[in-house]
Structure 1
Amino acid sequence: MATTTTATATATAAIKTVFSTSTIEWAMWANEHVLLTGYVLGIFSILTIIFHFPLWQIAIYGLLLALFIIIIEYPRSGRIVKKSKARPLQKYPSLLLTKLGPLTRNYFIRFVVYILLSLPCLFLISTIAPAISLIIGAGAYGLAALFQEQWIPVEPKTTDNTVPMPTRPPPREPLYRAPSNA
């Protein structure tokens, strides 16, 4: 009797779904994709407002959404392998993301928010392509959330004591000469 309960307990424990760590960092791909989508959405929204396309009021929403996306997505996340390079002036929006805490750190929240915020842009022909692209980027964030990735700030580079770069161009003469026997 005791062996059947332990066998049932181990079988139940084996059924639990645990996703192993992926070799692909989905958040990195999602960040680049959604940031580019924000730029494209901003450009398309500006052109729609300028030329007064039908339903151009949705383009105002698209422009505000593009600004929101660019502010949230501009800071690059630190990578697992610690080889991430920060974007120029990343520290300012990065402070905002660290202050907001789990709202911006959790990729599942970004997944849901980006899908919901892209829906109004699907009703305007000039913003439908960026809206679909934003949904695809949100899907990549969904995969990142599935593999338990989360946003972490990029750590500043530490300087180590390595050999300094040469000051003279090649060919270089040796710094010392061996005494000759002549």
Structure 2
Amino acid sequence: MGKIEWAMWANEQALAAGLILLTGGIVGVGGMFRGWEFAAYSIAAGVFVCLLEYPRGKKNKGTSVERTGQYCFTVCVKAFGPLTRNYYVRAFIHAAIAVPAGFMLATVLGCVCLGIASLIYLGAAISGEKWEPILPRTETRKAVGESIKQPPQNPPPRPPAEMRRKRAEDLEGAAYDNPIKVSTNDE
């Protein structure tokens, strides 16, 4: 079996935690709960975590699928260099962000989820993973093969090429006498 890539799990967990923090913060501020300042902090923290975690990193195999519209976020995250690529730093940032959200009931679930994401990022860092951006490929497309330029004329299933009947138009200049040809001359 292959090695588990912990960073993928941590990315999904942290993105969900950011959304939960944002939602809990909106509930706390909207309801004017006691300690609503922590809820306002959770809104800002949730937005920050979502912006940081939205771009997926490249898998070791290189088979990652990017999220819709992640390119502009990838450029921003890539610009911060080791602060965002190193998973030890991400684990510490998420743990530090999670602490103030634990002081209010509306945001405590986001705090716990972000703490779990921090632990998963710590596991990813210990196993030697780091964030690599998924950038658009600059490969040139291969030329279309001859068989693709001429699509098949008959529907599947098709017999092998040597078993197919040849059309008269394809023979071009070959001597072809139709033994069943009906004579139109009345003699």
TM-score (norm 2): 0.75
| d(CA) in 2 for partners of 1:115, 1:78 | 23
Structure 1 residue aligned with 2:128: 148
Superposition deviation, residue 53 in structure 1: 1.3
Equivalences, count: 158
Which of 114, 120, 124 lines up with 1:134 in the alignment?
114
Structure 1 residue aligned with 2:175: none
After TM superposition, the structure 1 = structure 2 runs for residues 85-96 of structure 1, keeping only pairs within 5 Å, are 85-96=65-76
> One-letter code of the match for 2:29?
I
Which of 144, 165, 175 lines up with 1:178 in the alignment?
165
| d(CA) in 1 for partners of 2:93, 2:16 | 17
Structure 1 residue aligned with 2:184: none
Structure 2 residue aligned with 1:123: 103
| d(CA) in 2 for partners of 1:44, 1:127 | 5
| d(CA) in 2 for partners of 1:47, 1:159 | 50
| d(CA) in 2 for partners of 1:38, 1:179 | 65
Superposition deviation, residue 119 in structure 1: 0.6
- Determine which structure has the larger helix proportion and give its number: 1
| d(CA) in 2 for partners of 1:156, 1:173 | 38
The alignment status of 1:57 with 2:37, answered yes or no, reads yes
Bigger Rg, structure 1 or 2: 2
Superposition deviation, residue 179 in structure 1: 3.5
Structure 1 residue aligned with 2:174: none
Unaligned runs of 5+ in 2: 168-177, 180-187
> One-letter code of the match for 1:178?
R
| d(CA) in 1 for partners of 2:157, 2:53 | 50
Structure 1: 4+ residue segments shifted above 2 A: 155-164, 170-174, 179-182
TM-score (norm 1): 0.77
After TM superposition, the structure 1 = structure 2 runs for residues 34-45 of structure 1, keeping only pairs within 5 Å, are 34-45=14-25
Unaligned runs of 5+ in 1: 1-21
Percent of residue pairs identical: 31
> One-letter code of the match for 1:93?
F
* Root mean square deviation, CA, Å: 2.7
